[in-house]
Amino acid sequence: MSLLDALGGSPLGGTPGAQECSRAGCRSEAVWSIGWRNPKIHAADRVKVWVACDEHVDFLREFLAARDFPLTVTALPS
């Protein structure tokens, strides 16, 4: 039996395909994708991605927007 099988078929025993919100301390399932980059250090083709639950999508978007980072917010596929 593999470690993945022992954990219920998904990494760390979570739901297969589910991602955890990027907000520190949040363990909720992410439903939003936030693509962003810091133009001072990232080339235009370099995009970092955070994921967010419904509760924290606005917080994370505002955090990045306050720093004038280009960003896009899209729903994660269900």
Closest CA to 31 of 19, 15, 14: 19
Helical (H) or strand (E) element with 36: strand 32-36
Domain boundaries, the chain: 18-75
Query: Is the Cα dihedral 64, 52, 22, 35 positive or negative?
Result: negative
Can you tell me the mean pLDDT for 18-29?
94
Q: Which two tokens stand for residue 13?
A: 């025993």
Is the confidence at residue 15, as pLDDT, over 70?
no
**CB of 53 closer than 8 Å to CB of 26:** yes
- pTM listed for this prediction: 0.76
pLDDT single digits (tens) 29-74: 999 999 999 999 999 999 999 999 999 999 999 999 999 999 999 9
Q: What is the pLDDT of residue 30?
A: 97
